[in-house]
């Protein structure tokens, strides 16, 4: 069987990491859920996470690829008091399944080995079915907020000079795609705000609490921005769900899991912004998304610093690279084979330097 290519290896790794985290979180949710319909939804989601992890683990073992540490029972306290009301679980699942669908949709075109293609398609199809189940529960429980109804156009319209305006003058109303992405980003941020608020409430580490408080503030800033754009055109907006967080201060999750979760989910917003800008036509919206992107980048950087400082970050599989300098030439060795060589100036490399290099002072970067 052919070896995994870099895209296949990387996407499998990312899928394993995300689902190992999800397994911890969903197991905790299931310990406390009371609503039987929502319980079945959580059980479905947990079974998928465990199945995806198991398949990837088997593949990595066959390929002699190290199994990521990911997240384990050490990262969750199933006996911690209830931190969320049952309704929150529905919002949370919708929040994370959108991320899963994004991950799989990007990965599928890059998969070529037959078994990996089949697995990626299975992940996508299973997650779509889960998303549809979430919609059904949301509708039945009355917790869904649909994008608003707008007038049906009576004829095809062509863009004119004011199409791109957004600050002053004759600013056109929002079009359907702009409204759709404002609602999507708003829904995501509403769930994110409640989650990061809960995390700040239970962590005992001051530096991490400050990070989560910053994340909550940035998220609320974004929510206010999206709501203003909608209200300016007399469109409704969904409310916050902070009331679905209980008063518990006992953490069900490790600091490592919580910081990783918010770093990962904030990072995914970058893709959301890209999707939003791609269909946007007004300059004010583009500037708003650019401002939020700057905020998100700063948060992710701070979160990454904490993860690195605590040695919590696992890196995806990467090249093994070695550089040696012999007789004024630089040789780059990639995965054990010489990939290229070129002149390295006119100054000779001393015999002592050559010996040091060959004896192991060259850096190797591997898994």
Q: Is 145 helix (H, G, I), strand (E, B) or coil?
A: coil
324 and 333 in contact (C-beta within 8 Å)?
Answer: yes
How many angstroms separate the CA atoms of 50 and 45, rounded? 9
230 and 185 in contact (C-beta within 8 Å)?
Answer: no
By CB atoms closer than 10 A (0-12, 13-18, 19+), residue 141 is middle
H helices within the chain, ranges in order? 6-32, 36-62, 86-107, 114-141, 176-202, 206-232, 255-278, 283-309, 351-356
Under the banding of pLDDT at 50, 70 and 90, the label for residue 326 is: low
> For residue 236, what are the contacts with CB-CB under 8 A and spacing of at least 6?
148, 230
How many angstroms separate the CA atoms of 244 and 213, rounded? 18
In this structure, of 68-72, 122-126, 356-360, the range with the lowest mean pLDDT score is 356-360
The pLDDT assigned to 182 comes to 94
Under the banding of pLDDT at 50, 70 and 90, the label for residue 184 is: very high
The pLDDT assigned to 348 comes to 47
The pLDDT assigned to 362 comes to 35
Computed on alpha carbons and rounded to an integer, the radius of gyration of the chain in Å comes to: 24
From the list 103, 82, 232, the residue with the least C-alpha distance to 167 is 232
**pTM of the predicted protein model:** 0.85
The pLDDT assigned to 61 comes to 97
The count of residues in the chain is 367
The overall average pLDDT reported for the chain is 88
Under the banding of pLDDT at 50, 70 and 90, the label for residue 163 is: confident
From the list 15, 25, 14, 315, the residue with the least C-alpha distance to 199 is 25
Backbone φ, ψ for residue 258 (5° rounding): -65, -45
From the list 259, 261, 297, 91, the residue with the least C-alpha distance to 188 is 91
Bridge partners, 324 (sequence order)? 331
């Amino acid at each position: 069987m052919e070896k995994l290519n870099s895209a296949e290896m990387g996407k499998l790794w990312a899928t394993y990491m995300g689902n190992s985290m999800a397994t911890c979180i969903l197991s905790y949710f299931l310990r406390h859920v009371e609503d039987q319909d929502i319980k079945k939804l959580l059980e479905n989601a947990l079974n998928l996470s465990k199945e995806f992890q198991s398949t990837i683990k088997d593949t990595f073992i066959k390929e002699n690829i190290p199994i990521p540490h990911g997240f384990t029972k050490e990262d969750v306290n199933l006996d911690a008091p209830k931190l969320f009301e049952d309704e929150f679980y529905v919002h949370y699942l919708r929040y994370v399944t959108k991320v899963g669908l994004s991950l799989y949709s990007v990965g599928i075109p890059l998969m070529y080995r037959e078994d990996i293609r089949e697995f990626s398609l299975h992940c996508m199809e299973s997650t779509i079915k889960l998303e549809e189940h979430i919609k059904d529960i949301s509708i039945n429980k009355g917790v869904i907020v649909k994008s608003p109804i707008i007038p049906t156009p009576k004829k095809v319209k062509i863009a004119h000079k004011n199409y791109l305006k957004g600050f002053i003058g004759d600013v056109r109303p929002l079009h359907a795609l702009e409204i759709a992405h404002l609602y999507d980003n708003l829904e995501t941020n509403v769930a994110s705000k409640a989650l990061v608020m809960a995390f700040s409430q239970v962590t005992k580490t001051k530096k991490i609490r400050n990070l989560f408080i910053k994340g909550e503030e940035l998220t609320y800033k974004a929510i206010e921005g999206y709501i203003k754009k909608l209200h300016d055109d007399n469109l409704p907006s969904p409310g916050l769900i902070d009331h679905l967080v209980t008063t518990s201060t006992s953490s069900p999750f490790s600091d490592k899991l919580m910081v990783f979760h918010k770093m990962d989910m904030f990072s995914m917003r970058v893709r959301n912004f890209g999707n939003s800008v791609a269909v946007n036509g007004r300059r004010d919206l583009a500037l708003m998304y650019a401002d939020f992107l700057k905020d998100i980048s700063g948060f992710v950087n701070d979160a990454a610093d904490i993860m690195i400082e605590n040695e919590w970050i696992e890196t995806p599989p990467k090249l093994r690279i070695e550089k040696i300098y012999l007789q004024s030439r630089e040789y780059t060795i990639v995965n054990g084979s010489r990939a290229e060589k070129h002149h390295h100036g006119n100054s000779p490399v001393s015999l002592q330097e050559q010996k040091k290099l060959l004896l192991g002072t060259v850096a190797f970067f591997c898994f």
